[in-house]
Amino acid sequence: MGSREEKQAEKGQGRRFFVYDDTDEALSRELLDSFTEFGWIPIDGGKFSSGDLEEGDRVVVYGSLSFIKKMFVRAERESFALGILPTPRQRRLQRLLGLPGDPAAAMELLAAAEPQPLDLLYAGENLVFYNALVGEAPPLAFHNAFMNEDLEQSKLELFFEAMARLRDLRKVRADVTTAKGQSFRTALTGVLVFNRESSTFASNLLQDSSYNDGQLRAILISPLSIVSYIHHLLVTIYARFRHQSLPDSVGLVKSQSLSIQCDPPLNVAVDGVDIGA
């Protein structure tokens, strides 16, 4: 006889910690009990200490996006591996990670998976999980506005909404500097910055799929005319209009880091949350 934790230790397996956000309404007593039954040790995120971890232990985080991001920052700072179990509301995150919808099946997959290094992207002090938006870049960042609602829109609706936003777009002067010190000045309406593949329209523009290479991708939007803006929308939303090269109104920068100084300053949103100019 013996506990599941003891049996795991006998087999040379580490312990399994399920670190949760106690304030998340999606966490039920039934869910906690089911993971305990399968050998996971539930710990309130506020009481979790990486100093208690031993070699071979597994840690999976469950909760709001802000809680997940806080745990990622801790994992980077304190050097421990971290897995993610999306909540039922985080369907986009579930698809991004390629996890099954059944929580028990997802946890079994996380228990067996080998940890892999992951590049983290920051906008100032803010961890960027999906992307950072500077100014306006429709339709690349439309999902930012609906990220918390998981709202799906048809491509036609997206096209007409992007057209309606045209009158609100304003170009500003921007000085852009890469990690290697290369600088250039341009006029743009917005920039979308990300470092991993996602289901957004921004990914649709890029032929490159070699992410996790230590570099961010910044898509700069600078429509030269109404016609060029319409072309950008068609190429971004509809696959049949895509070519090997980017539309004339779109620029791409790849770098380990990027400085963007706009005059006047543009608003910045990280994962759909405004953080100011």
- pLDDT tens per residue across span 52-73: 898 888 899 999 999 999 999 9
Instruction: Name the pLDDT band for 143 (thresholds 50, 70, 90).
Output: low
The residue-averaged pLDDT of 7-16 equals 59
60 is in which domain, residue-wise?
A: 4-112
Q: Is 90 exposed, middle or buried (0-12, 13-18, 19+ CB in 10 A)?
A: buried
> Are 108 and 127 in the same domain?
no
Of 133, 90, 169, the C-alpha closest to 275 is 133
Residue 70's CATH number: 3.40.50
Establish whether the linkage from the previous residue to 139 is cis, with ω within 30° of 0: yes
Q: How high does pLDDT run on average in the chain?
A: 82
- Domain boundary (78, 112, 146) is at 112
Percentage of residues in the chain having pLDDT higher than 90: 35
Q: What is the pLDDT of residue 12?
A: 44
The total domain count for the chain is 2
Say if residue 99 is in the same domain as residue 129: no
Q: How far apart are CA 216 and CA 119, in angstroms?
A: 9
Query: What is the rounded CA–CA span in Å between residue 111 and residue 16?
Result: 7
135 shares its domain with 258? yes
Q: Which of 41-45, 102-106, 254-258 has the lowest mean pLDDT?
A: 102-106
pLDDT surpassing 70 at residue 145: no
C-alpha 126 chain-centroid distance: 12
| Domain edge (last residue) among 112, 133, 157 | 112
On whether both 168 and 262 belong to a single domain, the answer is yes
**Residue 99 one-letter amino acid:** L
Domain co-membership, 96 together with 158:
no
Comparing 249 with 125, the larger pLDDT belongs to 125
Which pLDDT belongs to residue 111?
Answer: 83
Domain of 192, CATH number, reads: 2.60.200.40
Largest CA distance in the chain: 74
Q: Which two tokens stand for residue 89?
A: 């509301």
pLDDT band with cut points at 50, 70 and 90 for residue 163: confident
* Claim to verify: residue 194 and residue 268 sit in the same structural domain: yes
Single out the residue of 169, 129, 157 nearest to residue 249, CA to CA: 169
Bond before 86 cis per omega within 30 degrees: no
Strand order in the sheet with 16-20: 40-44, 16-20, 58-62, 83-84
Write down the pLDDT at residue 263: 94
Backbone angles phi, psi at 208, to 5 degrees: -75, 130
| Domain shared by 135 and 90, yes or no | no
- 127 lies in the same domain as 64: no
Q: Clarify whether residues 56 and 28 are in a common domain.
A: yes
Out of 57, 80, 112, pick the residue that ends a domain.
Answer: 112
Note whether 108 and 141 are same-domain residues: no
Same domain, 125 and 108: no
* Residues 104 and 172 both lie in one domain: no
Average pLDDT over residues 193-211: 73
- Residue in 93, 90, 70, 94 with CA at minimum distance from that of residue 82: 70
